[in-house]
Amino acid sequence: MLSRQQYEEASRLQIFSGCRPETIAMLLEGAFLHRFPERIDLAKEAETPDFLHVVISGAVELYAHYRDRETTIEVIGPPNSFITAAVVLDLPNLKSARVIEPAKILMLPAASVRKALNEDAAFAARIATELATAYRYITKDLKNQKLRSSLERLANWLVRRDRESGSRHRVVIPFEKRVLAAQLGMVPENLSRGFATLARFGVKVKGSALEIHDPQALENLAKPDPLIDDPSS
Amino acid sequence: MLSRQQYEEASRLQIFSGCRPETIAMLLEGAFLHRFPERIDLAKEAETPDFLHVVISGAVELYAHYRDRETTIEVIGPPNSFITAAVVLDLPNLKSARVIEPAKILMLPAASVRKALNEDAAFAARIATELATAYRYITKDLKNQKLRSSLERLANWLVRRDRESGSRHRVVIPFEKRVLAAQLGMVPENLSRGFATLARFGVKVKGSALEIHDPQALENLAKPDPLIDDPSS
DNA sequence: CGTGAGGTTGAGATCCTTCAACAGATGTGG
DNA sequence: CCACATCTGTTGAAGGATCTCAACCTCACG
């Protein structure tokens, strides 16, 4: 149940661009637009989702369990959606989702999403591109995991973050280091040691603020590859 | 350029189910249906694809490079398509594809696929479910990689293969062991050692034929999890 | 029979994790 | 304002997992 203002805001989202007004109206019919504080769980592994979640602002961590182990699969920011695949296929979530940076989330009823998918080609095409992007994102992550050592992953994370924030050689870790460690597929202790090793390549660490004093040395170590690290490709 | 018979055969594929006849006609207009022998490369990393490939029979290995390393991302069989995400987004391939089991492949022109996506909701929905399935598949693989040891991955591969082939406790590796090793994210030597260790759990190896003499012991070791190992979820 | 490719085995190095202790920052209640 | 608890992150030592390198083995094939 959205207010008129919320409805206006929501309908301008990328995910609706090109869609028929009726489609948008149907999708927003039983929708919610909420702000969530940190640490709130928005979805749980193994449960079948009732809503497609679209991140308007903030950040959401997707993580998964096996036995007593846990790992982060990805961190989602605006304007991306999550648990999209589970909603499309009407199958249980493969991962849980928790807010790691206060977030505004648009929740679209799963049944409406599946209905719209078969009625509005533009919406279906948007969902397809959304899924294609997510697929490529996770493919890069899998390549990152299988083809690089943890130090290489860390170095490349740094290079990429720096590039994304204007190459001013000052990078801030936007969440807890443990989350970064899990995302990079290592244990927190190992992340510390990784940073310690990077000191030899001109990287200074002060809390969550990182300084790159020898960009060339770091790049030489990282050897970034567009087919793993370019966010746009 | 398909013969009448090939056209008939192709149009019955799952990927076209529910689509308008005009859509199917447009997609098959500049399509090819070919058989390819082993070792042929069907797509190359970093190139932008001209065709969407649908596997009718046989098997295709998707692999990727970084520096001098190579790894297998997945092995695709019928009736799945591959490099779908790159075609939808008109971006370079993140992986290469090679035939590892003589294959019959339907190739649909990429431009036609993108056109159909925006014109036929049923086709767009099919592509969306295709992508959603691929996304979940690779998500499971990433969980497998990040949450399990190589022995656990091997044990679970065995359990799953056995289940898929009728639980008769005789499993055949359908391709070279090196491919299996790469797929499981380990080096060939380590796969050998893995099998050697599994002997203690009642697994006998004769070439590419495997026998499971103590299914319970193997399951206890593997501890399969539906959210990683169930092909259907 | 040689030869070569795929697979196995062993020894050593490297990477990564575990466990334990400790440091620093933050918050709470007295 | 201080004593204490708690949480995050760091460091060290030890063990385990995985990889590298090299030798060897097996089998299909000319």
Mean pLDDT of B204-226: 95
Give the tens place of pLDDT for each residue, B102-135: 999 999 999 999 999 999 999 999 999 999 999 9
pTM, full prediction: 0.94
Q: What is the pLDDT of residues B24-73, one digit of tens each?
A: 999 999 999 999 999 899 999 999 999 999 999 999 999 999 998 999 99
Tell me: pLDDT of B232 over 80. no
Structure confidence at residue A181 as a pLDDT band (50, 70, 90): very high
Q: A231 falls in which pLDDT band (50, 70, 90)?
A: confident
Query: How close is the nearest chain A Cα to the Cα of B91, in Å?
Result: 6
Residue A185 contacts B where some CB pair is shorter than 8 Å: yes
Helical (H) or strand (E) element with B31? none
Per-residue pLDDT tens over the stretch B156-180: 999 999 999 999 999 999 999 999 9
Q: What is the mean pLDDT of residues A206-216?
A: 94
Per mean pLDDT, which of A127-131, A229-233, B229-233 is the most reliable? A127-131
Please say if the pLDDT value at position B94 is more than 80.
Answer: yes
Nearest beta carbon to residue B147 from set A66, A131, A132: A66
| Domains present along chain A, CATH in parentheses | 4-145 (2.60.120.10), 148-229 (1.10.10.10)
Give the pLDDT score at B83: 94
**Nearest-CA distance from A212 to chain B in Å?**
24
Instruction: Say how far A190 CA is from C24 C1', in Å.
Output: 19
Does the structure show a pLDDT above 80 at A180?
A: yes
CB pairs under 8 A between A and B: 157
pLDDT band at B1; cut points 50, 70, 90: confident
Average predicted confidence (pLDDT) for chain B: 95
pLDDT at A1: 78
What pLDDT does B231 receive?
A: 84
Q: State the nearest residue by CA to the C1' of C8.
A: B192
